[in-house]
A and B are shown apart, each in its own frame.
Chain A
Amino acid sequence: MGSYVPTTPSEREEMLKRVGVGTLKDLYKNVPSDMFVKELNIPTGMSELEVRAAVTAMAEKNKVYKTILRGAGAYNHFIPAVVKSVTSREEILTCYTPYQAEISQGVLQSIFEFQTMMCELTGMEVSTASHYDGATAAAETIPMCKDRKRTKAYVSATAHPHTIGVMQTYCFANNTELVVLPAKDGKTDLEALKTALGDDAACFYIQQPNYNGLMEDADAIAEIVHAAGAKFVMGCNPIALANMKTPAEYGADIAVGEGQPLGLDIAFGGPYLGFMCTTNALMRKLPGRIVGQTKDADGNTGYVLTLTAREQHIRRERASSNICSNQQLCAFTAGVYMAAMGTVGMKQAATLSMSKAHYFASELEKIGLKRKYEGEFFHEFVTEVACPNCAKRINDALAENNILGGLAVDGGILWCVTEVVTKAELDKAVAIIKEVL
């Protein structure tokens, strides 16, 4: 068995003696005697060498594809070497939440820098330190928007199904009615939206680009939502934000999103990173941690966790959320990623992804795989498939060639292309698909 207990047997005796008990078990005097576990029903511990072999064997059972043409909420972007190097430093990795500000200035400053970068990307005025993922960030905006009169939340059916699912869970939790508004031609149905929103509407959430990869008519949506007196919440792809019209420019009240594309591995779904940005007006309603700049006793600039009166450890049952630990190391990673990429690199990643996705879409169209929906898209799009079994046949053929194909969705395939995929790989995929059709 492995162990990380440094105490030697003789030290243990000495310590037990000082504490005034005979054995370790004597320390559990309050535990009813028949409650002790006799023996756990788990395997015996192993040496590091054996553990490494066993876990590596599990890893090797997974198929790592050379080319990934699947997104749907998890995006395989390039991660500069400097990101892993910096984020694996053990001080950063092992420290706790920066409650003791004087010896946590590094973490606090890095959060302040992250908040600044997220404000820059979204165009909004304030950012939190992080949330669990994009879906929970979206769900946690609803209480920010509700008041006594405005009690109903709305979400577009074109958002990621997991995001809608999490919003439904959170709304079931705090007894909020959540209405899923229908899609039309792959985008939010504006007429349905106009009809739906009444005096009791608190907020409406869309994803930009949406689950189908399409750009929503966010200008028109903002106008409808605001005309109804509700808050407009946008879930945005952070890579797209380098180039696309920002949520602030669309007039969003809150911008959230999944930060995984910012330097985090796809890693079977986590850990990822939720981000949340808003206006100064809504700042004090934000859930979760926020870092602020201040001065120390000598007048030097420093950083602290701030606006903590919103939080659970102060406000308990009246807190804006129960969130405590968030995804700090992931936010730190995103910060290092954005610093390494810089404005030039971020814009390049966005342009490359978008351009390659468009190239792939047009090549697929040439061999008969037409896009299911019209309209502008970023790096994802849905193609129709000719037969019920086609999606599987296409993906099987691609998989044989070490390519992870698009995700089979209702009536089609949802493809994604990022900057890491080359034209040659796309051409190869098209040739393989052509054989199947």
Chain B
Amino acid sequence: MKLIFERGSAEQHLTLLPACDVPEVHFEQERQKELHLPHLCENELTRHYTEIAKRVHGVNDGFYPLGSCTMKYNPKINEDMAALPGFTKIHPLQDVETVQGAMEALYTIGESLSDIFGMDGITLQPSAGAHGEFTGVMLIKAYHTDRGDLARNKIIVPDSAHGTNPATAAMCGFQVVNIPSGEDGCVDLDALRAAVGPDTAGLMLTNPNTVGIFDKNILEITQIVHDAGGLCYYDGANLNAVMGVVRPGDMGFDCIHSNLHKTFSTPHGGGGPGSGAVGCKEFLKKYLPGPIIVKDGDKYDFAYPEKSFGRVRSFWGNFTVVLKAMTYIMTLGKEGIPEASMNAVLNANYMMSLLKEKYTMAYDEICMHEFVMCLVDLHDETGVSALDISKGLLDNGQHPPTMYFPLIVHEALMIEPTETESKESMDEAAETYLKLYDLAKTDPEALHAAPVKANCRRLDEVGAARNPIVRYTF
């Protein structure tokens, strides 16, 4: 399809703004370089974007079991509420008396999230999961720094962790200690005991972990880290398995981030905006980024924690994203939240039971909200890889699972159906997976060639990186 710059004519433009009703003023130093922006009539403009939208697979386009990404249905009421003019048309620097409703909203979801997390304090400033991780690890840094415990310069991360965990620790100035996982995919307690010491600042952990298993040793894990003087950070990427069922705070974690755009149903938007709310225990509250929202009687106000390590972004957070999550929590309530998680877990186990008929599971036991298949045997036998199966799924109108993650499982496909998929849609999806398994054995070439029905064939990524073309040239 054409790029937007290749459409329309240079003389075309919309009539959007009125004539200037005051004397015109211009810059003393104006730009010299000509400005090339698109030039289309409104009809052609909308056609371009309709064509763009048709070349995208959204949650409403079909099964989307992207492991670790929690692609649940994004309720329409959330969008309606976040679009209310009383929220979208208020300036972030209005006097607090004039934005009490907005502050009430932030306070309300803060209270709910604190309860779901099992934490005492919260900030809604972080804009995404990784930004929340940054904020959480900064709490750990601020704590040790404040205590003068400056030798604690290492963060422990299991080798099954998301890449954001070690990247975050490094951004926060820590050395990363990667520890190997046990054979069951869980934390190897001996490896952890060997790794902790007087230089341990903390541990970053997901539970359930990235292979979809709830670590039964979780209390011992957090205890080992605490005994060594470190703190425990909960990566909430997998919170959808346990919200309202178990609280990270009760597992012994000191701080947590949650991806509101996963667990609390706000849309992903093709890669954001998300929200990475961070919760912490009482003793860390004084280090939170400022400002936080406080309530005094019926009044809401901003307050700056006593030893805040500073702000992590401008203003107060991805406000309308937070509103969508608040709407979701208000809808589900105290019964619906655990109900959602338990059904997410049921769906994953059901899907696993269907796929187990042919595929090999990396860890063949009851899983949480997601599970990992290992396609090494299939690959050895047929030459068909996890990538090939994924591309075959594209030809069947499905979004593939997460591929090649976690790194500790070879030829991995990680499947997370979420609670909003029906049995019917999972039955149909599973049928396709099983059909592709058979196809791998009978006609591997067909899968090597896939996709053939998508908007394009496989793309040359190596060439793209070697000779980067990252903009259109006029």
Contact = CB atoms under 8 A, between A and B. Distances in A.
B163 A95 contact: no
Interface in A161-201: 162-163, 165-166, 168-170, 172-175
A220 interface: no
A86 to B, nearest CB: 4
Q: Which 7 A-B pairs have the closest CB atoms?
A: A45-B333, A269-B315, A59-B86, A329-B269, A61-B101, A269-B92, A106-B55
B102 interface: yes
A318 interface: yes
A309 B31 contact: no
B25 interface: yes
14 contacts: A2-B333, A7-B343, A24-B342, A42-B112, A94-B59, A102-B459, A245-B29, A290-B468, A292-B464, A304-B464, A329-B269, A349-B17, A404-B94, A423-B21
A317 B138 CA distance: 16
B98 to A, nearest CB: 4
B330 A45 contact: yes
B273 A329 contact: yes
Given A42-B334, A423-B22, 9 more contacts: A3-B340, A30-B215, A31-B214, A35-B246, A74-B93, A109-B1, A329-B269, A358-B25, A404-B94
A224 to B, nearest CB: 18
Nearest to B84: A59
Contacts of B330: 43, 45-46, 51, 54-55
A62 B167 contact: no
A129 interface: yes
A15 B270 contact: no
Nearest to A357: B25
Contact-residue size bin, chain A (C-beta under 8 Å from the other chain)? 35 or more
Interface stretch (B34-42, B376-384, B436-444): B34-42
Nearest to A244: B27
Interface string A69-103: 01011101010101001101111111111101111
A268 B420 contact: no
Contact of B272 (A98, A109, A326, A407): A326
Given A80-B16, A294-B459, A28 B167 contact: no
A267 B337 CA distance: 27
A419 B442 CA distance: 65
A44 B245 contact: no
A272 B314 contact: yes
Interface in A39-70: 39-46, 48, 51-52, 54-65, 68, 70
Contacts of B85: 59, 64
A152 interface: no
Chain A CB within 10 A, most for which of B115, B272, B349, B423? B272
Given A103-B57, A297-B458, A343 B35 contact: yes
Contact of B32 (A249, A293, A318): A249
Contacts of A300: 456-457
Most chain A C-beta atoms within 10 Å of own C-beta, residue among B28, B131, B259: B131
Interface stretch (B71-79, B189-197, B226-234, B278-286): B71-79
Interface in B65-118: 66, 69, 71-75, 77, 79-81, 84-94, 98-102, 104-105, 108, 111-112, 115-116
Interface in A380-402: 399
A306 B420 CA distance: 32
Interface string B194-238: 000000000000000000011110110000000000000000000
A279 interface: no
Interface stretch (A132-140, A225-233, A428-436): A132-140
A12 B346 contact: yes
Contact of A174 (B111, B173, B317, B366): B173
B167 A319 contact: yes
Nearest to A12: B346
Given A106-B52, A271-B318, A112 B14 contact: no
B242 to A, nearest CB: 8
B22 to A, nearest CB: 4
A270 B320 contact: yes
Interface string A314-356: 1111110111111111101000101111111111110110111
B58 A90 contact: yes
Contact of B394 (A103, A308, A340): A103
B121 interface: no
B163 A319 contact: yes
A354 B26 contact: yes
A339 B40 contact: yes
A339 B45 contact: yes
A5 B419 contact: yes
B339 A3 contact: yes
A62 B93 contact: no
B170 interface: yes
Given A97-B270, A271-B273, A351-B24, A169 B77 contact: no
A27 interface: yes
